[in-house]
Amino acid sequence: MGKNLTKREVDYSKWYNELVVKADLAENSAVRGCMVIKPYGYAIWEKMQAELDRMFKETGHENAYFPLFVPKSLFEAEEKNAEGFAKECAVVTHYRLQNDPDNEGKLRVDPAAKLEEELVVRPTSEAIIWNTFKGWVQSYRDLPLLINQWANVVRWEMRTRLFLRTAEFLWQEGHTAHATKKEALTEALQMQKVYAEFAENFMAMPVIKGAKSESERFAGADETYTIEALMQDGKALQAGTSHFLGQNFAKAFDVKYTSKEGKQEYVWATSWGVSTRLIGGLIMTHSDDFGLVLPPKLAPIQVVIVPIYKGDEQLAAISEKVDVFVKELRAKGISVKFDTRDTYRPGAKFAEYELKGVPVRIAFGKRDLENNTVEIARRDTLEKQTVAQDNVVEFVSNLLEEIQENLFNRAITYREEHTTEVDTFEEFKDAIENKGGFVSAHWDGTIETEDKIKELTKATIRCIPLENKFEDGKCVFTGAPSKKRVLFAKSY
């Protein structure tokens, strides 16, 4: 019953690290900062991928694949982008190992196999993709170009945490080219909306849509749109970003098109991505001291059935009854596991599925055989209920929807309770330090003030919310005039 799990209020960070490993989601590897995503964690990622991929295709995007490596000369072509990622690049310098003459049985880099030009392992693919787009775009007929890639990327981060920040991670990166600025802006905002819908409707994780302040923008972007979620410890998580890249990459890689009027114009660009970091957000939005809590729409196993029996005969009798509703549940597209392993006791199985966050657990014992009932437990509230076998299919279908909804509502309530509007810096500091969560405050729009606030409170501007109205106010730190509240928080 998650009894070995550190309690959240004792040490949230420890709770998270333990949970990821104990729930069989991921583990650290022999490579510094790189994780192994275990089958159960990867199954969640596959469910995320399937939904996102469908949403990308429905909005007209096609998948493609570009090289893992970026030659240094391409990498440095867009200066701001290069500057932003140069400090954390894995670099391939050689293409061969040889026997080490000083160390029998060991290998060393073959000094004769030095690459003429170093290759950067992609931290993001704008450079290699825009160098390719150059060949794909000639005329307005070739636009828009709406491409997505599912890939691994590498950023040599110094402090890493499973899913949240790893040296290698899996993600998708959309890269689009458009004839006009307006179209590109519309695309960037559309994809932010797609991300928000995915987060809320599938992950049951409420998000704030906003724009990043200049200092938090993607390196090489003119505007970065973000979705920001609030974790249970009051820290914000940047869950997905969509960038309006202006003509920065088009100019760096000389990507022009001939307009209908026969003029040569630079194209306009966007890029957008979400990653395996989402799994970290999923965990920290819903899970509890007993283990993982998964929203039904992304749970690899939605319903688990645990038989409680003595002897093969009783198991056979239970199985016969169970098979009836398992078939019906599966026919409705619900994923069901009937756990008949005889190497574990029911109590151990209960603990395992609680830890792994399976939304619905059905226990079927001797008394249920006699009464034609089952016991159904929901993972989100841990409540149990006895249900007639005839009603299992309807009950479970409804319950899965209810759990999905309840998780979202619970998270919304938490966020509302942890969003504070403040008008003085005293209130600001108090909210950040003692309450946590989002703090909505006026800001004078300067990087200096942003930096100072960060220095004093560790809080950063998470976003300038799109839905915030204009209002006259004064910067919470400098008193200078401000037109719009922005959202601050400590963050992952």
- Within residues 61-80, the interface with a second copy by CB under 8 A covers 62-72, 74-76, 79
Nearer CB in complex with a second copy: 113/316: 113
Smallest Cα–Cα separation from 202: which of 91, 272, 286? 286
Residue 128 in 3-state DSSP? helix
Q: Does 382 bind a second copy (CB under 8 A)?
A: no
Q: Does 39 bind a second copy (CB under 8 A)?
A: yes
Radius of gyration, alpha carbons of the chain: 26
Q: How many CB atoms lie within 10 A of CB 409?
A: 12
**What gap in Å lies between CA 250 and CA 269, rounded to an integer?**
7
Q: Does 339 bind a second copy (CB under 8 A)?
A: no
Pick the stretch among 146-154, 381-389, 413-421, 466-474 that binds a second copy (CB under 8 A). 146-154
Q: Does 147 bind a second copy (CB under 8 A)?
A: yes
Q: Does 322 bind a second copy (CB under 8 A)?
A: no
Nearer CB in complex with a second copy: 67/346: 67
Q: Does 330 bind a second copy (CB under 8 A)?
A: no
Q: Does 299 bind a second copy (CB under 8 A)?
A: no
**What gap in Å lies between CA 169 and CA 443, rounded to an integer?**
34
**What gap in Å lies between CA 197 and CA 211, rounded to an integer?**
17
For 288, residues 6+ apart whose C-beta sits below 8 A from its C-beta are 8
Q: Does 348 bind a second copy (CB under 8 A)?
A: no
Q: Does 254 bind a second copy (CB under 8 A)?
A: no
Helix axes 392-417, 311-331, angle to 10 degrees: 70
Q: Does 412 bind a second copy (CB under 8 A)?
A: no
Q: Does 466 bind a second copy (CB under 8 A)?
A: no
Nearest approach, Cβ of residue 105 and a second copy (Å)? 7
Contact with a second copy (CB under 8 A) among 52, 120, 255, 362? 120
Q: Does 105 bind a second copy (CB under 8 A)?
A: yes
Nearest approach, Cβ of residue 139 and a second copy (Å)? 9
For 152-156, the CB contacts below 8 A with 24+ separation are: 152/68, 153/121, 153/122, 153/123, 153/124, 153/125, 154/89, 154/90, 154/121, 154/122, 154/123, 155/85, 155/88, 155/89, 155/123, 156/33, 156/88, 156/89, 156/90
Nearest approach, Cβ of residue 163 and a second copy (Å)? 12
Question: Which CA distances in Å does 298 have to 242, 250, 393?
Answer: 23, 38, 19
Nearest approach, Cβ of residue 263 and a second copy (Å)? 18
**What gap in Å lies between CA 64 and CA 285, rounded to an integer?**
32
Q: Does 111 bind a second copy (CB under 8 A)?
A: no
Q: Does 394 bind a second copy (CB under 8 A)?
A: no
- Within residues 83-102, the interface with a second copy by CB under 8 A covers 86-98
Q: Does 128 bind a second copy (CB under 8 A)?
A: yes
Question: Total binding residues for a second copy by CB under 8 A?
Answer: 64
Tokens 């059905």 map to which residue?
362
**What gap in Å lies between CA 150 and CA 171, rounded to an integer?**
6
Q: Does 307 bind a second copy (CB under 8 A)?
A: no
Buried b (16+ CB within 10 A) or exposed e, 420-449: bebeebeebbebbeeebbbbbbbbbbbeeb
Q: Does 340 bind a second copy (CB under 8 A)?
A: no
Which residue type occupies 420? T
Nearer CB in complex with a second copy: 137/393: 137
**What gap in Å lies between CA 37 and CA 366, rounded to an integer?**
39
Nearest approach, Cβ of residue 165 and a second copy (Å)? 15
Nearest approach, Cβ of residue 158 and a second copy (Å)? 10
Nearer CB in complex with a second copy: 79/312: 79
Nearest approach, Cβ of residue 86 and a second copy (Å)? 4
Contact with a second copy (CB under 8 A) among 121, 162, 237, 305? 121
For 313, residues 6+ apart whose C-beta sits below 8 A from its C-beta are none
Q: Does 44 bind a second copy (CB under 8 A)?
A: no
Q: Does 107 bind a second copy (CB under 8 A)?
A: yes
- Within residues 151-210, the interface with a second copy by CB under 8 A covers 151-152, 154, 156, 168, 170
Q: Does 109 bind a second copy (CB under 8 A)?
A: yes
Strands in 179-316 per DSSP E: 208-211, 223-230, 236-246, 256-258, 264-266, 268-275, 303-307
Q: Does 31 bind a second copy (CB under 8 A)?
A: yes
Nearer CB in complex with a second copy: 85/325: 85
Check if the beta carbon of residue 275 is closer than 8 Å to that of residue 281: no
Pick the stretch among 105-113, 239-247, 376-384, 479-487 that binds a second copy (CB under 8 A). 105-113
Nearest approach, Cβ of residue 329 and a second copy (Å)? 19
Check if the beta carbon of residue 464 is closer than 8 Å to that of residue 210: yes
Q: Does 363 bind a second copy (CB under 8 A)?
A: no
Q: Does 352 bind a second copy (CB under 8 A)?
A: no
For 106, residues 6+ apart whose C-beta sits below 8 A from its C-beta are 99, 100
Residues found near a second copy in the complex (CB under 8 A): 27, 29-31, 34-39, 42-43, 45-46, 62-72, 74-76, 79, 82, 86-98, 105-107, 109, 118-121, 128, 131-132, 135, 141, 147, 151-152, 154, 156, 168, 170, 343
